[in-house]
Chain A
Amino acid sequence: MNTQTLLWLIPLPPLLAFALIILVTNRWKALSHSLAIGAAVLSWLASMVVFFSVVRVEGLSENPIVSSIPWMPTGADSWFRIGVTLDPLSAVTLFFVAWTVLTIFIYSVGYHNFGQPRGDHDVPGLPPEGATVKGKGAHRVPSVEPMYSRFFAFISLFAFAMYTLVVSDNLLTLYIGWEIMGLCSYLLIGFWYARKTARDAAVKAFLTTRVGDVFMLLGLVGLYKATGTLNYHAIFGNEELLHTLGTTASGVLGLSQAGLYGLLLFIGTVGKSAQFPLHVWLPDAMEGPTPVSAMIHAATMVSAGVYLSIRIFPLVSQSETALLVMSIIGAFTALFAATIAGAQNDIKRVLAYSTISQLGYMIAALGVGAYVAAAFHLVTHAFFKALLFLGSGSVIHGMEHGVLHTNEHLDPQDMWNMGGLRKKMPLTFWTFLIGGFALSGFPLVTAGFWSKDEILSGAFAGGHWVVFGTLALAALLTAFYTMRQITLTFLGQPRTKAAAHAHETPATMTLPLVVLAFFAVTAGWVGIPTYFPGIGGLINPWFEEFVGSMLPAHGEAAEAGHSLIPLATSLVVALGGLYLGWLAYSKVQAGQQDPIARAVPGVHRLLQNKYYIDELYQKIFVQPARWISETFSYRIVDRTIIDGVLHGIGRGGLGLGRFVRNQIDMPVWNRFLEWLSARIPALGRSLRPLQSGRVQQYMILAITVAVLVGVLFYYFFVLA
């Protein structure tokens, strides 16, 4: 089987699994998850084959593997073609997507308590609440998810969409995968749909990203019109075309066409990758099951937004304005989300804000032109953030176990209820530590360090001081809140009985952690810059060459970044942040307040409430939208104005009719006719005596008349 065919086939197994689970096997849990995981394995296998077949190919970006078919006719003799492609960017994306998807599929088996008894009172639409085991020493254990098969169906559909997006060779199929992922995200955030919060979070996620999507649609059609194609290589590989787009004015806000369409497409990224100001959905999306948070809201779907931005980078880079916007939004989001993350108590919410912040990093990297660094961070982040999410899921799971055991009523996701879990859940602890250190950019051994360092040096080398400073500050905060999280969760002593009774999770959950932890460390080694003191050049910086060849310019501003200042900065912020976090939280006792809240209560409240942005949006967007819909558009325009006019016409017609009836028909015609009809009987009465009933009188009358007529006839006709 050649690579093209394999590329076409990669997304299909999960789609088939989805269809089969929904239509056939939804009653059989084991069969359903076997199908889903089997499909994921097939896709993973195909992805690996494809990836390793091209990993050493020279000039892959100039001559990518392509295959396409005509899909949609667009006027005379012109077709829109869809197809698959494999170039360095999609290859590396495929690599991390395949791994994270597979591990998360396997993790889900354990997370949803496969093999556990059915819950006592579990109903579809709510998380399982535990089952009582009969027999000696009756106790409660986690119960299996009632909608187990449905979960695997949804994530299979999601995997299909993600693979479609990655192997696609044009922006339209990318958009198709993008939107189907949006649907899956909606379905999975609202997986426990009977919970009000989950339901509202699902709607919020879909609608917030849809804001970006409609702009993206405009960007798509605009670009399609301007270039006559949506194929990556036809647009982004064509320097002449890009140059034309970059120099033609679009007539909107003084942007060039490249700038306009690039920004419109970028707004799609802002929605999907939860960048400010469309970031509000991602933290709420943590209502979904944790594997979903790991897969959709850390490793793949939100990464797809950045993937798009990296894809369109050749276009965007034609416009200074667009790049500036990207770097501002990215850097601001990175810092902004990091500050909020430091004040959250929910273990998953911290990670959610951390994800937003890290995605901001990548966007900022693109904004300053550090193309490879952005792609690099995308890959490493996918691994360590998936690891962290799965680790947090494992923690929550362990806590739930403890909660069921002790029958305490507490939130198993609140970090203040944890503490000391390193002894209870060692495997989870160590892998979480690796993930956390990678996120903080712990020097040398973790992947996060290398990618983050590359971004910082990119910003530094390009002379973007503000971006550099912002990102460095964000990195400090990142290390700080990561250490806060690790300390609160795993270190110290258990602060609740539930934490004391927490339990390590089954192998289906820990094995994925180990695999991801492996990548969280090693994924960075392919991108160690050659100038790095000591170990630079020991390992070939393959990533740089491979993905860097995607840019027509080959090489970038960061090339000059041999300065050691950014390196020193990233060392200081990473270690400093970690130390500060440990310092502040290692002494925390049960029932104590957050040290920050003690120190600066006002700021803490502001951060804990996420700068009140949700409330602000509620006031300035949601409520006006409701008003416009219910009151303005429906009641005022439709019911009052348009129907009012119509009813007015109707009433006018009715009034006219009434006038004719009351003023003309009734008084004139009716009365005349009534008078007439009253006269006729009288006339009859007056003629009645003629009708005597006597034959002879009739006869006399007849003869008289006949004679009279005869006389008159004679007089008038004969004589005349």
Chain B
Amino acid sequence: MIPLSWYLIFAAALFCTGLFGVLARKNAIAILIGIELMLNSVNINLLAFWRYLYAPDLSALTFVAIVLVAAAAETAVGLALIISVYRRRSTVVVDDISLMKG
């Protein structure tokens, strides 16, 4: 059986990829994709821990379900915002959207 650490390393790598995407990309959609990657790496973590430590108790899987729902909702709202911003300003580059600048 594949040891737990492999899953964890994989999830960490995935998380870092997502984090990099969020911090480095200028395109808002790409940032959104990065966030999705981070959320899913968390899911992998959750599943891995469940499988190794708590199976067959299914109740722990509720976390995964909640994160999935939250991720979907977040993506929907995020995309809607991005579309709205695009319509108004014709861009999805976050550096151009700096109205909050002090």
Given a CB threshold of 8 Å, the question of whether A touches B is answered with yes
Q: Which residues of A contact B (CB under 8 A)?
A: 687-696, 699-700, 703
Given the complex of chains A and B, what is the CA–CA distance between A690 and B102 in angstroms? 8
Given the complex of chains A and B, what is the CA–CA distance between A688 and B102 in angstroms? 5
A699/B98 in contact, CB under 8 A: no
Which residues of B lie under 8 Å from residue A700 when comparing CB positions? 23
B102/A696 in contact, CB under 8 A: no
Given the complex of chains A and B, what is the CA–CA distance between A409 and B21 in angstroms? 132
Q: For the complex, is B100 an interface residue (Cβ under 8 Å from A)? A: yes
A695/B94 in contact, CB under 8 A: yes
Which residues of A lie under 8 Å from residue B24 when comparing CB positions? 696
Given the complex of chains A and B, what is the CA–CA distance between A688 and B100 in angstroms? 11
B102/A694 in contact, CB under 8 A: no
Q: How far is the CB of B31 from chain A (nearest CB, A)?
A: 8
A696/B101 in contact, CB under 8 A: no
Can you name 18 A-B pairs with beta carbons within 8 Å?
A: A688-B102, A689-B102, A691-B100, A691-B102, A692-B98, A692-B102, A693-B98, A693-B99, A693-B100, A693-B101, A694-B94, A694-B98, A695-B31, A695-B94, A696-B31, A699-B22, A700-B23, A703-B19
Interface string of B3-40 (1 = CB under 8 A from A): 00000000000000001001110000001000000000
Given the complex of chains A and B, what is the CA–CA distance between A699 and B31 in angstroms? 12
Q: Would you call the interface of chain A mostly helix, strand, loop, or mixed?
A: helix
B98/A696 in contact, CB under 8 A: no
Q: How far is the CB of A686 from chain B (nearest CB, A)?
A: 11
Closest chain A residue, CB of each to CB of B95: A694
Which residues of B lie under 8 Å from residue A694 when comparing CB positions? 94-95, 98
Closest chain B residue, CB of each to CB of A691: B102
Q: How far is the CB of A171 from chain B (nearest CB, A)?
A: 101
Q: How far is the CB of A142 from chain B (nearest CB, A)?
A: 109
Given the complex of chains A and B, what is the CA–CA distance between A695 and B34 in angstroms? 14
Other than A690-B102, A693-B100, give 14 A-B pairs with Cβ distance below 8 A. A687-B102, A691-B102, A692-B98, A693-B97, A693-B101, A694-B94, A694-B95, A694-B98, A695-B31, A695-B94, A696-B22, A696-B24, A696-B94, A699-B22
Closest chain B residue, CB of each to CB of A688: B102
Interface string of B64-90 (1 = CB under 8 A from A): 000000000000000000000000000
Interface Cβ pair total, 8 Å cutoff: 30
Q: How far is the CB of B97 from chain A (nearest CB, A)?
A: 8
Q: How far is the CB of B91 from chain A (nearest CB, A)?
A: 14
Which residues of A lie under 8 Å from residue B94 when comparing CB positions? 694-696
Given the complex of chains A and B, what is the CA–CA distance between A693 and B94 in angstroms? 9
Which residues of B lie under 8 Å from residue A689 when comparing CB positions? 102
Given the complex of chains A and B, what is the CA–CA distance between A694 and B97 in angstroms? 7
Closest chain A residue, CB of each to CB of B26: A696
Q: How far is the CB of B1 from chain A (nearest CB, A)?
A: 32
Which residues of B lie under 8 Å from residue A691 when comparing CB positions? 100-102
Which residues of A lie under 8 Å from residue B22 when comparing CB positions? 696, 699
Closest chain A residue, CB of each to CB of B100: A693
Q: How far is the CB of A707 from chain B (nearest CB, A)?
A: 12
A696/B23 in contact, CB under 8 A: yes
Which residues of A lie under 8 Å from residue B98 when comparing CB positions? 692-694
Q: How far is the CB of B56 from chain A (nearest CB, A)?
A: 33
Which residues of B lie under 8 Å from residue A690 when comparing CB positions? 102
Q: How far is the CB of B37 from chain A (nearest CB, A)?
A: 15
Closest chain A residue, CB of each to CB of B19: A703
Q: Which 10 pairs between the two chains have the least Cβ-Cβ distance? A: A691-B102, A693-B98, A693-B101, A688-B102, A693-B100, A696-B23, A695-B94, A694-B98, A692-B101, A700-B23
Closest chain A residue, CB of each to CB of B94: A695
Interface string of B50-66 (1 = CB under 8 A from A): 00000000000000000
Q: How far is the CB of B15 from chain A (nearest CB, A)?
A: 12
Q: How far is the CB of A286 from chain B (nearest CB, A)?
A: 105
Given the complex of chains A and B, what is the CA–CA distance between A703 and B31 in angstroms? 16
Closest chain A residue, CB of each to CB of B99: A693
Given the complex of chains A and B, what is the CA–CA distance between A688 and B22 in angstroms? 24
Q: How far is the CB of B82 from chain A (nearest CB, A)?
A: 12
Given the complex of chains A and B, what is the CA–CA distance between A700 and B19 in angstroms? 10
Which residues of B lie under 8 Å from residue A703 when comparing CB positions? 19
Closest chain A residue, CB of each to CB of B101: A693
Q: How far is the CB of B83 from chain A (nearest CB, A)?
A: 17
Q: How far is the CB of A701 from chain B (nearest CB, A)?
A: 11
Q: How far is the CB of B43 from chain A (nearest CB, A)?
A: 20
Which residues of B lie under 8 Å from residue A693 when comparing CB positions? 97-102
Given the complex of chains A and B, what is the CA–CA distance between A691 and B99 in angstroms? 10
Closest chain B residue, CB of each to CB of A685: B102
A699/B23 in contact, CB under 8 A: yes
Q: How far is the CB of A682 from chain B (nearest CB, A)?
A: 14
Closest chain B residue, CB of each to CB of A698: B100
Given the complex of chains A and B, what is the CA–CA distance between A590 and B22 in angstroms? 142
Given the complex of chains A and B, what is the CA–CA distance between A691 and B101 in angstroms? 5
Q: How far is the CB of B69 from chain A (nearest CB, A)?
A: 23
Given the complex of chains A and B, what is the CA–CA distance between A690 and B22 in angstroms? 19
Q: How far is the CB of A669 from chain B (nearest CB, A)?
A: 32
Given the complex of chains A and B, what is the CA–CA distance between A620 and B37 in angstroms? 119
Best-surrounded residue of B19, B94, B102 (most CB of chain A within 10 A) = B102
Given the complex of chains A and B, what is the CA–CA distance between A703 and B100 in angstroms? 20
Q: How far is the CB of B17 from chain A (nearest CB, A)?
A: 15
Closest chain B residue, CB of each to CB of A687: B102
Best-surrounded residue of A687, A695, A703 (most CB of chain B within 10 A) = A695
Q: How far is the CB of A584 from chain B (nearest CB, A)?
A: 125
Which residues of A lie under 8 Å from residue B23 when comparing CB positions? 696, 699-700
Given the complex of chains A and B, what is the CA–CA distance between A89 and B64 in angstroms? 131
Given the complex of chains A and B, what is the CA–CA distance between A14 and B53 in angstroms? 127
Given the complex of chains A and B, what is the CA–CA distance between A576 and B94 in angstroms? 144
Given the complex of chains A and B, what is the CA–CA distance between A377 and B100 in angstroms? 121
Given the complex of chains A and B, what is the CA–CA distance between A695 and B100 in angstroms? 9
Closest chain B residue, CB of each to CB of A684: B102
Q: How far is the CB of A691 from chain B (nearest CB, A)?
A: 3
Given the complex of chains A and B, what is the CA–CA distance between A79 and B102 in angstroms? 96
Given the complex of chains A and B, what is the CA–CA distance between A278 and B62 in angstroms? 121
Given the complex of chains A and B, what is the CA–CA distance between A695 and B30 in angstroms? 14
Closest chain B residue, CB of each to CB of A695: B94
Q: How far is the CB of A657 from chain B (nearest CB, A)?
A: 44
